[in-house]
Each structure stands twice: as C-alpha cells, then as structure tokens.
A and B are shown apart, each in its own frame.
Chain A
Amino acid sequence: MSENPSPEPPSAPAPDPSDTAWWSDESDGTRPLDTHAVMAQGDVLDRRRGETEPLADDALPRETPPPPPAIAAAAMRHIGQVRETNQDAIYTLISSIPRETGDATLGLFVIADGMGGHEGGEIASRMAVAAVARRVIADLLVPAIEGSINVSLQALIVDAVQEANRTIWEHARMTGSDMGTTCTAALLLGRSLYIGHVGDTRAYLIDASGIHQLTTDHSAVGRLIEMGQLDPAEAREHPLRSQLYRTIGQHPEAAVDLVFQPIGDATHLLLASDGLWGCVEEATMLRIVQSIDSLQRAARALVDAANRAGGPDNISVVLVRLV
C-alpha cells in the first residue's frame, strides 16, 4: 500500500487566462480608435502571401493542436466449423493525411462475403476488396498525401463499390460463373464515416450507450424485420434468412447504399459478416468489445464466440478503435 496522503490541500484554480476576453481590450471601449494609425502599423509588418499577420504585440498563444488520433484496427477471418472454404475477404488501411493544422487520419475497412460455386465466392470477395482499395488509394489517398483532395467522399465510396460490381460482373460473364459477394466498405476521414454497402455484412458503431447497426441488410427478411412485420427471433429460423435481393457482381449495375455518419463520441466501429452476427447476439458482441482492451484479443474473442455457437458460416470481423 503506497497511499500518499495529499501533502497540500487542493489549491484554488488559477485564474484561467482564457477567461479574459480574447480580444484583450484595455480601453473603456467607447473611444473611437485612430484606425489609420493602426493600419499604418499593420502595413509595416511582413506582407508575405498566405501568412497571418497578428498585431505587433503578439500576446496571443499559438493554438494548441488537438492530440493525434488513436485510431487502430484489428481484423480477423475464420473458416468456421462447417464450411469447406473461406469465401470472405477483408482489408484494412490506416494512413495519416497532411493538413494545414493537425494531420488527419484516413482509414479504410472492408469486408466482402463471397458466394458462388467453383471458388466463385473466394474470387468475387477478393476482387471486391481489391477494387475498392485500388479506387480509394488512387483517387483519395494519393491525392490527399499530395495535398489536393478533390473527389467528393460520398461519391467516391459509392463509385468504388460500383466499380467492384462492374469488375466482378465482367469477370463472371467471361467465365460463365454465378459468383457474387456482399461488400461493406467503411471510409473514415476526420470525424466522419462514409460507408458503401451492398448485402448483409454489417457495420456497427459502438458508444457508451450501446451498439448501433449502421447498415441495413439487403435481404427481404431483414427488410420485414425493419418494418416490424417479422420478429427477429422468428427470422433466425426463416428459410430465406440469407437470401439477398442485392449483391455485388450479379447485375451490370448495383445500387449501393451510402451511410454518412459522424462518429461523434463513438469508441469503436465494428464490421461483421453474417457468420458473426448470425450466431452471436449484439449484446454479446458489445460486451466483448467493451470488456477486452486489446483490439486483437477482442477480435479473436468475437470469432471464438461465433465458433462456439457452431460456426455455421465463415466468420469475418474488423474492429476499429476510434478514440
């Protein structure tokens, strides 16, 4: 026991310098100032372009930049207990982006859950993450590092998923395959998430109040639950539970859902394939994420939970710490 008795009583807080008006007015405020004199003073100052020119007596402190973001991610995929192949593909990227003050963080997190025989599912899911990553890196990451972001982020993430669709559709047509995949791609820039989504891989945001599903499953059963027509418990047994009405790679064009979500005070972003959310309750996922500090161990625990529940399908998880 090393309890130090407080040697000093807590001192009264020092007067906060920010309490005084930041325009630091010393006059009584009624006397009009000789602005010509002020201007003359300003004119002798440095006139380099693009420079801020404070008044001569620079008592203003430099703005303290916000602390660097602590964004980190762990990703894991597992074949499960039943399937012969792993048709899921996952991808994560975290990069800093130079900005005038306080460099920003860019994150890209993708899960694709493939389907189709003769390795079609593996190929389609891999092609989907590759297409999304290629597009975001070429059109956003590289320009951002060069300091010239010019794309609209909402359009970019939707286009990236649509490009994945076209790539797979072309490939499937050439090879006569029935391949397809889900694709949920979350782009994080600054304090906002841009999610392009097709299928039933889910994105969840976790904050102090709980776990919140950001995406809508593109299954008719999911839609009926959303409309309150089917009970979620009943739906678990529904024969059409994993039938999707929207997929990537099976039509020449795909309608991509866009979710634009400021992260606010959320602590984690979680992407999960149906192999995870289909057999692990949201409350369990929440408990694991909140109780295990290490992202890697939490991701592992999520996969373990799905396997313990039978692991009927491939399990994929991407867990991102936002604070």
Chain B
Amino acid sequence: MALIKKPGTTKGIDLNSSSSGAEADPQGTAAPGAGGRVVAPVMQPGVVLQGRYVIEGTLGIGGMSVVYRGRDLRFKDVVRPCAIKEMYQSAPDSNTRLLNLKNFEREAGLLATLQHPAIPKVFDFFEENGRVYLILELIQGKDLETVLDEAKGPLPEERVARWAVQLCEVLSYLHNQKPEPIVFRDMKPSNVMVTADDRIILIDFGIARSLVRTRGTVIGTEGYSPPEQYKGIAEPQSDLYALGATLHHLLTASDPRTETPFTFHERPLRQLNPQISPEFAAVVEKALSYDMKTRWASAEEMRLALLQTPTLRSKQGGGTATAGKVALSRASGAATTELVWRFVCEDEVRSSPCVSNGMVFVGSYDTNLYAVDAGRGEFRWKYATEGGISSSPAVWNDIVIVGSEDGAVYACDIRRGVLRWTFRTSKPVRSSPRVLDRVIFIGSDDQHFYAIDGLRGAQIWKYRTWMPIRSSACIAGESVYFGGGDGFVYALSIKNGGVRWKQRTQQPVISSPAFAENMVIVGSMDNTLYALDSEGGWPVWKYRTNHYVNSSPFVLGTRVFVGSVDGNLYAIELKNGKLAWKYDTGSQITSSPRVEQGRVYFGAADGCVYCLDAANGTLIWRYETQGPVVSSPAISEGVVYIGSLDHALYALRA
C-alpha cells in the first residue's frame, strides 16, 4: 500500500517512497516515541510456525504485512528457503480489518491457482495465534526500485526491453485466466523482482483480483495507476498503463510518484532520455494513453510490438550505424537558400538594415548611409557622414535617422537623401534610434541618453549615465528602457527623462531590451538574459548562457529568442525563463534574431545567415557569406535583408 492515512493527521503520506524507504531507520531501532509510524509487530529469528517454518530474518515491511525470510524444516538434508508473509492489522476500524483479511485470503487463493515462472509459488496458508500466514517461494534477487536506486540514473534500454517482454508475458498469462481475467492492479518497480540471471518475477498480489465489473476504491499506487482505477475500474489495459509507467520510470529515472499524475505525454521519454530509440519509446507511450481504448489491445499485442523494435530485433547490432547516420546528416544537411541580390559597400556592414517604402536603408563602415531598392538591390542614394556607421537606421515619416562614429545623429529625406538635420553628441553614436510620435530616443558613447525632436533635431531632454550607451531603446507605455555600459538597465520617463528605476547587472549592457507581458527582457555581458519587472526593475527570472549576451532578444508569442557569444541561439519561455530549445552554431552570435512566419533568422560570426524552425530549433537553411555576420536581419515580403563584414548587404529568399 503506498498511501497511508493515519488517524489524527490531515493528509495521507506516501511511506513507500523509494528514497524514504531506502534511507529509513528500520522499524524498532528508532528511539521510542520519535516517529509517528505504525510499528509492525516483528517476529524475532528462531520463531517456528506450525512446527515447520522457522523465521530467519525480515525481508520487508509493507502497509499491512511483514515478509520474513524463512526455512522449511521438513526438508532435513537440504536447506529449503521460503518467504513467510504475515498479515498484521493496524487499522482500528473493524470493517477495514475484515476487508484486509479478505484481501489477504484472496491473494493466497489467487496465487494457489496460478502457475507461471514469473509468479511466486505458494506452499502453505494457515492461521496461528490469531495471525494469518502465507508461505511462498523465496525469490532471490532485487526489486526493480532497488536496481534503479543503485543505478542512480536511467537503466539501459536493452535490459529494460527484455524485462518488458517478460512482464508482458506474465500479464498476458494473468489476463487470459478463465473464467475471468486477473488484473494485477499494482504494477510498479517495487513489485517486480529481478533474479541474478535477469529473470523477472511479480510479487505482491495483495490487490490483484479477478475482473469483477463493479466499482471499488482500490487504486494501486499513485503515479503508476491509470486514471480509470480512480473510478474503481480495472481492466487488463489498466495493467498495461501501469507497465508503461513502470518502464517510463526505469528508462528515465523520473519518479512518477513525484510528478503530476497522468502527465506522461507531457514528459516524452526521448525528451528526458534522448538515448532511447524512437521505436521503443513509441511502444511504451502507446501503453500510457490516457484513454484505455487507445492503449495496446492486450499484453500480447504489446509484447509483439516490443519484439519488432530494433532494440530487440537485432541484439548483435551495435550503435555505430546510428552514430554514422547522424554525422552524415549533419554534414549534408547544409540546405541553403536563394540569393535575391547582393549590394556591395566599400567597408563592413555592421549596421542592421531597415526596410521601408520599397527601400532598404543600411549604414556601412565606409561612412555612408545607403538607400537601396528593396526589390532589385539597385543603388538609390547615399549620404556620407564623417565616421563609420554601426548604428542601424530607423525611418519616421519621410526621414531616415542614423547615428555615426563622428558623434552625430543624422536625419535624411528618404527619397533623395537630402540632409534634414543633424544632432551632435560629443562621442561616437553606436546606439540605434527609436522613434515614438515625433521623438527620437538614442544613446551615445558620451554617456548620455537623448530624446530628440524628430522634426527639428532639437534636444528635448538628456540623461547622463556613467558609461557609453550602445544599447538601443525600447519604448513601452510612458517609459523608455535601455542598457548602459555601467551595467545598469534604465527605465526613464519618456516625458522628461526622470528615472523610474534602474537595475544593476554585473557587466555592461549592450543588448537592446524588448518589452512583453510587463517585463523588460535584455541581455548583459554578465552572460545572463534578464527579465525585469517593468514596474520596478527587479528580476522576474534570469537565464544564464555561457558567454556574453550582446544579441538583443526578440519576443514572439510565449517565447523569447536571443543569441549568445557562446554560439547558441536560445528559445526561452517568456513566462518562466525556462529553455524551450537551443541551436548551437559552433560560432559566436551577436546578431539579434527576428522571427517571421514561424522561422527564426539571425547571423553568426562563422559568416552564415541561419534560418531555424521557431517551434523546435531545427535548421531549415543556412546561407554562407564571406565575412562574419553581426548585423541583424530585417524581413519584408518573403525576403531577408542582412549585412555582412564582407562589405555586402544581402537579400535572401526567406
């Protein structure tokens, strides 16, 4: 019995948990009164029952019985060991006592009628001194829970598969009993013994019974028992569910008793243990269907399916073939995409393009802001600043705005590139402009963050920090958020630049924040992606990568996408900061991802532009440029625009 409800306490308690069971002080040796356990009356070695069975030691204590190792004295010349199961009554309620006795008698009667190598033989059943005893074949071995505990991790698939076949055989035997099938009802690792030659034997038939289609409340063990058993229904398919749960536990070492019940489908085998073959996982998971009808129809059907899995079909086959296959697919999996056009500048394109009005705007280290026809990549105009451009342009109404290494912010007419205004700061401007209404927000290496009137290029306000500001702003509600070289993330009032809050990270923040669900998401050079409460800046969650997070997060739906210098593109759950998937480029990522139509686009230092499936992070295509890609993509009408340090701006088929 897994669950014990004790008088005077509120909750039931799982006393048979693997951990507490293994670690617990044996009954009787604990200091008196220290624990609240019901103490079973344990017989001492040497006690003889029926003048025939001598107690040699205690094997285990269950909820309602004690099992002893014993010896049959009638065989004088040989040692004939046996298991002596003694029922004891701890329940104060007489109805319960009667029910327990009936269960015990049923177990004895049931076992006496069965004959199978995986079921213990019954030798005797009697009452002595008001107690009831069952003499059983002694099984030499360990139960699977102990095997699992000792392994301290998942058990090998092949071994589990061989046990699974044997368990199907014995279940099939039970389910085919006449006139009514017998349902075991309590399949779980601790009820399965494994012998030295790796044979399995079912133990504890305490609640097994012939199928009687009436409602009862005997449920087996939480975590392993199928949902229908909670409604008092137990069919042969119920044992298959519990078998599936048992195999799931053995293959993953994830204890179903501590997980939310009936959530196996949310914890797929291969997610918990990728080494399991898909075929074997499929057989087990079918047994775990919530609905009885969609499980295997019988234990025999499941056994045949198990025998068809590669694990059991080719025992001599090694794992080398699959390893080779994986390596091959990785090498040949370099699907690429179509180049729409390529526009070459005179120096590196670190700036990220901006698409608007059928034109692509991008800055280059050759000092020019370029306007290129989006459809054909033809040159429209350029405006030369006095320094290289790494800032990314933004379009507002009929002007395009960009910062330059020369310390100025420039606004040019989008049609011909005529200068409208300039706004000078005293150090290079590497932050990129963000526009709200007619106000432009931008940071500068001169340590200031500026709000500029987009019509006139006049300062509205400025805010001074301690270090250069290379992060670009995110505007949400009444606040503007950005990171500083001083390691702070700032929230300022858009109206007057008043500080709403600032929150420290451990290193400079170059990444630009994203806003979603009242959180400000931003990376830091302390290797961490932060989700800060927009109200006060305190971290809601953090996600740690293995290197700088200078890439800017992109939020779509329930996920945050961000790159790290550790080479991975991460997809992280917005709500709790848990990893959904990651993709390792083997290079560095400072480019910021964009997600469009279920695909994630970004560049990496290996020169490639990547396109991944946003749902699971599998590679869809990869396009190789001739230089590192630190620029971030812009996507418009099925085309990805991105710059490369090979001096070119690329337009690729999305």
CB–CB B219/A240 < 8 A: yes
- Among candidates B30, B456, B576, residue contacting A27 with C-beta atoms closer than 8 Å: B456
CB-CB contacts below 8 Å: B5-48 with A: 5-6, 8-15, 17, 19-20, 23-25, 30-31, 33-37
CB-CB contacts below 8 Å: B499-531 with A: 499-504, 517-518
Nearest neighbor of A218 in chain B, beta-carbon distance: B260
| Interface status of A192 (Cβ within 8 A of chain B) | yes
Query: Separation in Å of the A205 CB from the closest CB of chain B?
Result: 16
| Interface status of A310 (Cβ within 8 A of chain B) | no
Question: Helix, strand, loop or mixed for chain A's interface?
Answer: loop
Which among B131-139, B303-311, B351-359, B461-469 touches the partner chain? B461-469
Q: Once the chains are docked, how many angstroms separate the CA of A177 from the CA of B25?
A: 10
| Interface status of A13 (Cβ within 8 A of chain B) | no
CB–CB B535/A191 < 8 A: yes
**Residues in A whose Cβ lies below 8 Å from that of B30:** 176
| Interface status of B207 (Cβ within 8 A of chain A) | no
| Interface status of A184 (Cβ within 8 A of chain B) | no
| Interface status of A247 (Cβ within 8 A of chain B) | yes
By CB atoms of chain A within 10 A, which of B223, B439, B456, B463 has the most?
A: B456
| Interface status of B455 (Cβ within 8 A of chain A) | yes
Q: Once the chains are docked, how many angstroms separate the CA of A35 from the CA of B260?
A: 64
- Among candidates A25, A32, A63, A118, residue contacting B35 with C-beta atoms closer than 8 Å: A118
Q: Once the chains are docked, how many angstroms separate the CA of A178 from the CA of B466?
A: 56
CB–CB B230/A33 < 8 A: no
Q: How many A-B residue pairs have CB under 8 A?
A: 256
| Interface status of B258 (Cβ within 8 A of chain A) | yes
By CB atoms of chain A within 10 A, which of B11, B24, B538 has the most?
A: B11
CB–CB A192/B262 < 8 A: no
CB-CB contacts below 8 Å: A210-244 with B: 216, 218, 220-221, 223-224, 227, 229-230, 239-240, 242-244
- Among candidates B258, B466, B538, residue contacting A255 with C-beta atoms closer than 8 Å: B258
By CB atoms of chain B within 10 A, which of A21, A23, A54, A83 has the most?
A: A23
Which among B56-64, B117-125, B421-429 touches the partner chain? B421-429
Mask: chain A, 190-210; 1 = CB below 8 Å from B; 0 = not: 111010000100000000000
Known: A49-B466, A50-B466, A189-B538. A243 touches B35 (CB 8 A): no
CB-CB contacts below 8 Å: B251-300 with A: 257-262
Nearest neighbor of A175 in chain B, beta-carbon distance: B34
Query: Separation in Å of the B234 CB from the closest CB of chain A?
Result: 15
CB–CB A154/B230 < 8 A: no
| Interface status of B497 (Cβ within 8 A of chain A) | yes
**Residues in A whose Cβ lies below 8 Å from that of B463:** 51-53
Question: Helix, strand, loop or mixed for chain B's interface?
Answer: loop
CB–CB B35/A247 < 8 A: no
- Among candidates B33, B231, B422, B497, residue contacting A35 with C-beta atoms closer than 8 Å: B422
By CB atoms of chain B within 10 A, which of A115, A255, A274 has the most?
A: A115
CB–CB A150/B504 < 8 A: yes
| Interface status of A153 (Cβ within 8 A of chain B) | yes
**Residues in A whose Cβ lies below 8 Å from that of B457:** 32-33, 35
Known: A29-B456, A100-B501, A240-B230. A251 touches B9 (CB 8 A): no
Known: A32-B420, A104-B536, A240-B219. A117 touches B6 (CB 8 A): yes
Query: Separation in Å of the A25 CB from the closest CB of chain B?
Result: 7
Nearest neighbor of B535 in chain A, beta-carbon distance: A190
CB–CB B230/A177 < 8 A: no
CB–CB B541/A155 < 8 A: yes
Nearest neighbor of B439 in chain A, beta-carbon distance: A23
Query: Separation in Å of the B47 CB from the closest CB of chain A?
Result: 26
CB-CB contacts below 8 Å: A16-40 with B: 21-23, 25, 27, 29-33, 35-36, 38-39
CB–CB B421/A32 < 8 A: yes
Nearest neighbor of B219 in chain A, beta-carbon distance: A240
**Residues in A whose Cβ lies below 8 Å from that of B504:** 148, 150
- Among candidates A148, A175, A250, A313, residue contacting B20 with C-beta atoms closer than 8 Å: A250
| Interface status of B348 (Cβ within 8 A of chain A) | no
CB–CB A33/B421 < 8 A: yes
Query: Separation in Å of the A105 CB from the closest CB of chain B?
Result: 10
Query: Separation in Å of the A224 CB from the closest CB of chain B?
Result: 6
| Interface status of B619 (Cβ within 8 A of chain A) | no
Query: Separation in Å of the A27 CB from the closest CB of chain B?
Result: 7
CB–CB A39/B456 < 8 A: no
CB–CB A115/B11 < 8 A: yes
- Among candidates B8, B34, B262, residue contacting A223 with C-beta atoms closer than 8 Å: B262
Count the B residues whose beta carbon is within 8 Å of the partner chain — how many? 85
CB–CB A229/B231 < 8 A: yes
Mask: chain A, 92-105; 1 = CB below 8 Å from B; 0 = not: 00000101110010
- Among candidates B17, B537, B542, residue contacting A250 with C-beta atoms closer than 8 Å: B17
Q: Once the chains are docked, how many angstroms separate the CA of A152 from the CA of B134?
A: 57
CB-CB contacts below 8 Å: A139-188 with B: 144, 148-155, 173, 175-180, 182
CB-CB contacts below 8 Å: A241-262 with B: 242-247, 250-255, 258, 260, 262
| Interface status of A44 (Cβ within 8 A of chain B) | no
| Interface status of B566 (Cβ within 8 A of chain A) | no
**Residues in B whose Cβ lies below 8 Å from that of A29:** 455-456
Mask: chain A, 44-79; 1 = CB below 8 Å from B; 0 = not: 000111111111000010110000000000000000
Query: Separation in Å of the A299 CB from the closest CB of chain B?
Result: 21
| Interface status of B539 (Cβ within 8 A of chain A) | yes
Q: Once the chains are docked, how many angstroms separate the CA of A239 from the CA of B231?
A: 11
Q: Once the chains are docked, how many angstroms separate the CA of A54 from the CA of B10?
A: 64
CB–CB B498/A52 < 8 A: yes
**Residues in B whose Cβ lies below 8 Å from that of A114:** 10
**Residues in A whose Cβ lies below 8 Å from that of B6:** 117, 178
| Interface status of B575 (Cβ within 8 A of chain A) | yes
- Among candidates A25, A154, A245, residue contacting B577 with C-beta atoms closer than 8 Å: A154
**Residues in A whose Cβ lies below 8 Å from that of B541:** 152-155
CB–CB B539/A39 < 8 A: no
CB–CB B575/A260 < 8 A: yes
| Interface status of B91 (Cβ within 8 A of chain A) | no
CB–CB B36/A178 < 8 A: yes
Nearest neighbor of A45 in chain B, beta-carbon distance: B462
| Interface status of B618 (Cβ within 8 A of chain A) | no
Nearest neighbor of A151 in chain B, beta-carbon distance: B539
Mask: chain B, 397-428; 1 = CB below 8 Å from A; 0 = not: 00000000000000000000000111110000
CB–CB B495/A22 < 8 A: yes
Q: Once the chains are docked, how many angstroms separate the CA of A33 from the CA of B454?
A: 11
Q: Once the chains are docked, how many angstroms separate the CA of A51 from the CA of B262?
A: 57
| Interface status of B112 (Cβ within 8 A of chain A) | no
**Residues in B whose Cβ lies below 8 Å from that of A62:** 496, 498
- Among candidates B19, B230, B421, residue contacting A251 with C-beta atoms closer than 8 Å: B19
**Residues in A whose Cβ lies below 8 Å from that of B421:** 32-33, 35
| Interface status of B376 (Cβ within 8 A of chain A) | no
CB–CB B11/A244 < 8 A: yes
Q: Once the chains are docked, how many angstroms separate the CA of A139 from the CA of B381?
A: 57
Chain A residues with a Cβ under 8 A of chain B: 21-23, 25, 27, 29-33, 35-36, 38-39, 42, 47-55, 60, 62-63, 83-85, 87, 97, 99-101, 104, 113-118, 120-121, 144, 148-155, 173, 175-180, 182, 189-192, 194, 199, 216, 218, 220-221, 223-224, 227, 229-230, 239-240, 242-247, 250-255, 258, 260, 262, 274, 313-314
Would you give 25 A-B contacts (Cβ < 8 Å), ordered by A?
A22-B495, A23-B438, A29-B455, A35-B421, A35-B459, A50-B465, A51-B463, A63-B493, A85-B8, A97-B536, A153-B533, A154-B576, A176-B25, A178-B35, A179-B36, A180-B13, A192-B518, A223-B260, A223-B262, A242-B10, A245-B261, A247-B11, A250-B13, A255-B259, A262-B518
Chain B residues with a Cβ under 8 A of chain A: 3, 5-6, 8-15, 17, 19-20, 23-25, 30-31, 33-37, 217, 219, 222-223, 227, 230-231, 257-262, 420-424, 437-439, 447, 453, 455-466, 492-493, 495-504, 517-518, 533, 535-542, 575-577
Can you name 6 extra interface pairs (CB under 8 A) apart from A32-B456, A39-B424, A189-B538? Answer: A52-B492, A52-B498, A153-B539, A192-B533, A244-B11, A250-B13
